[in-house]
Amino acid sequence: MYITKPNKEFPSDFLWGSASAAYQVEGAWDEDGKGRSVWDEFVRIPGKTFKATTGDKAVDHYHRMEEDVRLMKEMGLKTYRFSIAWTRIFPDGNGEVNEEGVAFYNRLIDELINNDITPMITVYHWDLPQALENEYGGWESRHIVDDFVHYAKTLFERFGDRVKHWIVLNEQNVFTAHGWLMATHPPGKVNDRKTFYQVNHHAFMAHAKSVIALKSLWSDAMVGSSFAFGPSYAKSDKPEDAMAKMDYDDLQSYYWMDVYGYGRYPRAALAQLRSEGVAPVFEEGDEEILKEAAQLVDFMGVNYYQTCVAEYNPIDGVGMTNTMNTTGKKGTSTVQGVPGLYKNPQNEHLPTTDWDWTIDPEGLRFACRDITSRYDLPIVISENGLGAFDKLEEGKVHDPYRIDYLKRHLIELKKAIDEGCRVLAYCTWSFTDLLSWLNGYQKRYGFVYVDREEDENEGTLNRIPKDSYYWYKYTIETNGAEL
């Protein structure tokens, strides 16, 4: 669209935000009664993470929470998205509540509210209690749904009086694909498509039942799950590439978003899965529950980093077990795909980051437009940001590349808003530097530099605002009028 009279500013109640996840910032991995999560175990398997980095200490947010919130306040941040570590609340996944865990999040929530920052909670950002993995195989068993909903309800009951923005699951598509297809997240399985789809069905049921539970407790709360949306462009005008795009969209995007937004799986995707014998098994009543939750969802959460290209992939073509670039050496990742359907080559028209992620600000607008026309739901951009090598020089971090990246994404986001998309919030990834799951500490995303390296014993963990911190502060002050 070409809007001739765009608004100068973002909507007056726009939530300028930033995000994190418990495992990536908190540290204190075995303090105050916390149980072990699958990530606490997985990072200890040799070869799984970059230079064997762990979140044992992370950036020590657990002990520096007040300082971090002070920095948010000084920046003028409107919302802070963070996740709760399930193992702090229920060390073994179920059973008795660990009150020390609840107390930490109460302090964080109160600190935010006292500083005029709206808390936005992610219920699950991948750190499943290891006890549930041991007990019944975690997400692979239907038992997970009840334990998850019990955990989620506990959070709603304890924090729902003050917290009105909830994200149930973070990137269900990512943690399941890495966990059951690529072996790069726990439980480290390779190409187990049947389990992958069943696990996803359990996760959808956990999402849906949590949404319903939240709304029955707090009808004024707003809820959705966050999807890692990588919109696709067809490689060429060949019909087979257009069909590859359609297959990609149904199997990689709408497979998740349709369940959140409509409460059903895309028909073509299900037909494909049935023909392969890998379609998920439903229990009686599941269909109705998914539909009920879809009616209650308030927004689509979107983590946007990049778009992709969809190209026809012959039956003897590439599969999902690709080589990922976890070192920051440009050009070391390889193409992945599903034989017979699609593959995702690099977009030759767009630049990439050092970790080979495509940089495509227009893709953010595309994502919002697609969601708006398909689901007509409001949108929360729950993550967007640039992972880069930052250098601390004479007490300062100059990161013009990050400012440029965020600015260009915000310009496109603003266009999407002018075009009618209802975007409620924009959270950058991330507020402070933090652990990148597979890429260690050298891949930095924050507005605030944290002095630490891969080695646990190096660095003071001091916080140093980067140039981008001051740029975002000004952007918030001017409500995005001067991008």
- Selected from 436, 442, 468, 475, the binder of ligand BGP by CB under 6 A is 436
Neighbours of 466 (CB within 10 A): 22
- Judged by CB under 6 A, the stretch of 236-244, 368-376, 430-438, 461-469 that binds ligand BGP is 430-438
Inter-residue contact 256 to 172 (CB < 8 Å): yes
Among 178, 245, 443, 452, binds ligand BGP (CB under 6 A): 443
**Residue 45 DSSP code:** S
Site track for ligand BGP across 196-235, x = CB under 6 A: --------------------------------x-------
Q: Are 371 and 299 in contact (CB under 8 A)?
A: no
Distance CA 408, CA 296 (A): 33
Do 327 and 245 contact (CB within 8 A), yes or no? no
* Nearer CB in complex with ligand BGP: 54/272: 54
Site residues for ligand BGP, 81-110, by CB under 6 A, read none
Please give the structure tokens belonging to residue 354.
């050092």
Q: Which is nearer to ligand BGP, 117 or 438 (CB)?
A: 438
Which residue's CB is nearer to ligand BGP, number 156 or number 437? Answer: 437
Site residues for ligand BGP, 24-83, by CB under 6 A, read: 24
Which position among 94, 173, 439, 468 is part of the footprint of ligand BGP (CB under 6 A)?
Answer: 439
User: Rounded to the nearest whole angstrom, what is the least distance from the CB of residue 157 to ligand BGP in the complex?
Assistant: 26
CB-based contacts of 404, cutoff 8 Å, min separation 6: none
311 versus 433: smaller Cβ distance to ligand BGP? 433
Asked if residue 196 lies in contact with residue 181, where contact means CB atoms within 8 angstroms, the answer is yes
Q: Which residue's CB is nearer to ligand BGP, number 97 or number 174?
A: 174
First to last CA, the chain: 20
Q: Strand pairing of 337-338 and 300-303?
A: unpaired
Smallest distance, Å, CB 430 to ligand BGP?
Answer: 7
Smallest gap from residue 82 Cβ to ligand BGP (A) = 11
Residues 6 or more apart in contact with residue 238 via CB below 8 angstroms: 312
Among 94, 200, 303, 306, binds ligand BGP (CB under 6 A): 303
Pick one of 10, 18, 21, 84: the residue that binds ligand BGP (CB under 6 A): 21
18 binds ligand BGP (CB under 6 A): no
What's the min distance (Å) between Cβ of 385 and ligand BGP?
Answer: 7
Nearer to ligand BGP, 169 or 377 (CB): 169
Q: In what order do the strands lie in the sheet with 232-234?
A: 232-234, 308-312, 342-343, 337-338
SS3 category, 224: strand
Q: Say whether 227 sits in a helix, a strand or coil.
A: strand
Rank residues 24 and 225 by Cβ distance to ligand BGP and give the closer one. Answer: 24
Contacts of residue 110, defined as CB under 8 A and 6 or more positions apart, other chains included, come to: 162
> Where does this chain touch ligand BGP (CB under 6 A) — which range of 1-9, 46-54, 100-108, 433-441?
433-441
Half-sphere exposure of 57 (CA within 13 A, CB side): 15
Give the CB-nearest residue to ligand BGP.
436
DSSP at 119? E
- Contact (CB, 8 A) for 15 and 222: no
Shortest reach from residue 356's CB to ligand BGP, in Å: 11
171 binds ligand BGP (CB under 6 A): yes
Active site residue 171: yes
Residue (121 or 289) nearer to ligand BGP, CB = 121
Q: Give the H/E segment covering residue 402.
A: helix 400-418
Only one of the segments 66-74, 170-178, 282-290, 363-371 lies at the binding site for ligand BGP (rule: CB under 6 A); that segment is 170-178
Q: How far apart are CA 95 and CA 131, in angstroms?
A: 11
Q: Give Cα separations from 203 to 216, 248, 297, 309, 318 (angstroms).
A: 20, 21, 16, 27, 28
CA distance 135 to 143: 10
Whole-number minimum distance, CB 219 to ligand BGP, in Å? 29
* Nearest distance in Å: CB 24, ligand BGP: 6
| Catalytic member of 111, 171, 311, 412 | 171
Residue 393 is a catalytic residue: no
Name which position in 86, 429, 441, 471 contacts ligand BGP (CB under 6 A): 429
Q: Among the options 26, 311, 383, 412, which is catalytic? A: 383
Type of residue at 102: V
Are 97 and 87 in contact by the 8 Å Cβ rule? The answer is: no
H helix or E strand, kind and range, residue 211: helix 193-217
Point out which span in 60-68, 255-263, 401-409, 435-443 binds ligand BGP (CB under 6 A): 435-443
DSSP letters spanning 343-374 = E----TTS-B-TT--B--HHHHHHHHHHHHHH
Is 124 near ligand BGP (CB under 6 A)?
no
Here's the x/- map for ligand BGP, 357-396, by CB under 6 A: it reads as: --------------------------x---x---------
Active site residues: 171, 383
Sites of contact with ligand BGP (CB under 6 A): 21, 24, 170-171, 174, 228, 303, 383, 387, 429, 436-439, 443
